[in-house]
Amino acid sequence: MVKTKEVDLKHIEVTIHAKPIIKDKFWVLTADDQRVGEINKQEHGSGYKLKIGDSVFNYKNISRIKANANIEFEKQITAKEREENQVHEYPTDAKPYNGVWSLQQKAPIFTKEEDSKSWFAAGWYLVRQNKIWRQDFCPKLITLQRYDYHGPYKNQRELLKVKA
């Protein structure tokens, strides 16, 4: 593993997405739906460690990472946002319509519009696509019909217990 100080990584042309796993402490990095690395908050407030492949880079703060790399940080969905958007006590990413429990999928499902034909599963899931397990929040019902999955889970913490 190669360890270096702050490095300008803007030359990497692929946009990397940082998905928050533990608020302000741990992110999983993906590019084209493939896991490429992670960001960890170091103990004792000594900055952040960015790992991409076998390379490790140290940065003072998240602002420095944003300034030096093509990384888009995704917003973490908070519990407050989830309270009003639920189906059978499972969180949704939009106002749910037509919420029911699918006996086939053993999951709460809903539509995002009253007359929509597109169904989504409420909650958090681990979905296996292309031999890789990934987290998915409110996936389309057809995704659960086509791929192996674990879930639903009411929050990321429950999902991470299974993933660990």
pLDDT at position 163: 64
Q: Are 57 and 6 in contact (CB under 8 A)?
A: yes
Per-residue pLDDT reduced to its tens digit, 65-78? 888 888 888 877 55
pTM (global) more than 0.85: no
pLDDT at position 82: 45
Tokens of 41: 């908050």
Q: Are 7 and 70 in contact (CB under 8 A)?
A: no
Q: Tell me the percentage of the chain whose pLDDT exceeds 90.
A: 39
Give domain limits for the chain: 2-73, 79-163
Mean pLDDT of 24-42: 86
Quick one: DSSP state of residue 59?
Answer: E
User: Taking 90 as the threshold, does the pLDDT of residue 143 lie above it?
Assistant: yes
CA dihedral 107, 113, 115, 118 (to 10 degrees): -50
Average predicted confidence (pLDDT) for the chain: 85
